[in-house]
Amino acid sequence: MMSTTNTSDDGNDDLGSNNDLANDGGEEVDADDVSADDNEDGRTRRMTSQTKLQEVVDTLRRIGWSFTQFIAAWSGDRLGSEHVQLEHRQYRTVKQRRAALSRAVRDFGCDKARPAKELDRLIKEPFFNKFDHKMDFEDMDFSAVDGIIRRVAPSWYRVLWDVMTNARYTWQSYNGNSQSHDATLKRRMFAITSMVCHSRAKQNSNFLSAMVATYLVGSGVKRRVIECLNGLGFCLGYMQTTRMMGDVARCQARSV
What is the per-residue pLDDT across 61-83, written as a single tens digit (0 to 9) for each?
Answer: 999 999 999 998 998 887 777 88
**Based on the number of CB atoms within 10 Å of its own CB, is 184 exposed (0-12), middle (13-18) or buried (19 or more)?**
middle
Residue of 235 and 175 predicted with greater confidence: 235
pLDDT band at 173 (very low <50, low <70, confident <90, very high): low
How many H helices and E strands in the chain? 10, 4
**pLDDT surpasses 80 at 175:** no
Contact call for residues 193 and 149 (beta carbons, < 8 A): yes
Region 135-156: what's the mean pLDDT? 87
> Per-residue confidence at 38, pLDDT binned at 50, 70, 90?
low
pLDDT bin (cut points 50, 70, 90) of residue 105 is confident
Write the CB contacts of 41 (distance below 8 Å, at least 6 apart in sequence).
Answer: none
Question: Cα dihedral sign for 70, 71, 72, 75?
Answer: positive
Which pLDDT does position 22 carry in this prediction?
A: 35
Query: In angstroms, rounded to a whole number, what is the distance separating the alpha carbons of residues 56 and 35?
Result: 15
pLDDT tens-place string over residues 184-208: 889 999 999 999 999 999 999 999 9
Average pLDDT over residues 109-135: 85
